[in-house]
Amino acid sequence: MIDWSGDSAGGNLAAAVALKLRDDHFYPQPKLQLLFYPVLQGIDFQLPSMLQHRVGPRLTAASMCYYVAMYLEGSDANKDVFCNNSHVDASVQRMYSRTFLNVDLLPAKYRQNYVRPAPRPVDRQLWERLREKLINRYFSPLVAEKLHGLPETFVLTIENDPLRDEALLYVRRLMSAGVDVTHRHQFGYHGDLQQRLGVIVPYVREHL
C-alpha cells in the first residue's frame, strides 16, 4: 500500500511518477497520489493566475520561468522567453489553448478582466531544442493525452499562487477521466505546507 505525494515541484514529480507507474503497469499500483499546489506544465506562462502573480511576496510567475529554464537547460538565459510564451510554437499554443490549457474552463471569477498578452515571435531554435521535453507527459502531466487509470487523487490549490490555474485544470481533467478526486482550495500564498496539514492529514488517515 503506497502513495506518491509532493508539493510544488515535488507535486510535479509525484504526478509524473503516477503516470509512469500506470504506463508501465507497475504492481502494486499506488493507492493515492497527493498533489499540493503542484507544477503541472511548462507550456503556458500566461494563464490568469500567472499574470495575476507575475510579481509578489512568494512564488511568482517570473520565478517559475526562471526555475523551468534552469531545469530544462541549466541556465536562466531564456527565462524571459518562457514568460513571454515565446518558447512554444504558435500552432501548438493554440491547440493547447483550445484543449488542456483552455482558460474558458476555469471558474468565471478567475477569467474576469483576463486579457492574454499579444503573442511574441517564437524562438524557433529554443522550441526545436526543447519541444520533446515540454510536451512530454512526465514533464507536463497536464497535457498528457490520457489520464485514466490513475490512483485516487488529492489536490490542494492555493488562491494567491501562479500555479493555481494549471492545478484547477488538472483537477477537471482527472475528474473527466474518471479518477476519484478530492480537491481542497485554500486562501493564502504558495507554500507553507505545515500550515496546510489540517486538510491533508485527515484525508490521508481516512484513505490510506
Average pLDDT over residues 33-62: 94
> Does residue 80 have an active-site annotation?
no
pTM, 2 dp: 0.95
Asked whether residue 2 carries a pLDDT value surpassing 80, the answer given is: no
Read off the pLDDT of residues 92-137 as tens digits, 9 standing for 90 and up.
999 999 999 999 999 999 999 999 999 999 999 999 999 999 999 9
Read off the pLDDT of residues 154-179 as tens digits, 9 standing for 90 and up.
999 999 999 999 999 999 999 999 99
> Does residue 161 have an active-site annotation?
yes
Contact 40, 68 (CB under 8 A): no
Asked whether residue 26 carries a pLDDT value surpassing 50, the answer given is: yes
Asked whether residue 1 carries a pLDDT value surpassing 60, the answer given is: no
Q: Of all residues in the chain, what percent are helix, strand and coil, respectively (each to 5)?
A: 45, 15, 40
> Does residue 76 have an active-site annotation?
no
Domain 3-207 has CATH 3.40.50.1820: yes
Which pLDDT band holds residue 3 (cuts at 50, 70, 90)?
A: low
Q: Calculate the average pLDDT of the chain.
A: 94
Asked whether residue 62 carries a pLDDT value surpassing 80, the answer given is: yes
Asked whether residue 29 carries a pLDDT value surpassing 90, the answer given is: no
CA pair distance 72, 9, nearest whole angstrom: 13
CA pair distance 3, 181, nearest whole angstrom: 14
Annotated catalytic residue within 53, 87, 165, 190: 190
Annotated catalytic residue within 7, 53, 140, 161: 161
Question: C-alpha cell of 128?
Answer: 526545436
The confidence score (pLDDT) of residue 4 equals 60
Where along the chain do its domains lie? 3-207
Contacts of 2 (CB under 8 A, 6+ apart): 28, 30, 31
Dihedral sign (CA 10, 73, 138, 87)? positive
Residue 6: exposure state from Cβ atoms within 10 A (0-12, 13-18, ≥19): buried
Question: C-alpha cell of 150?
Answer: 490513475
Annotated catalytic residue within 8, 49, 86, 140: 8
> Phi/psi zone of residue 77: left (φ > 0), alpha (ψ -120 to 50 degrees), beta?
alpha
The confidence score (pLDDT) of residue 56 equals 81
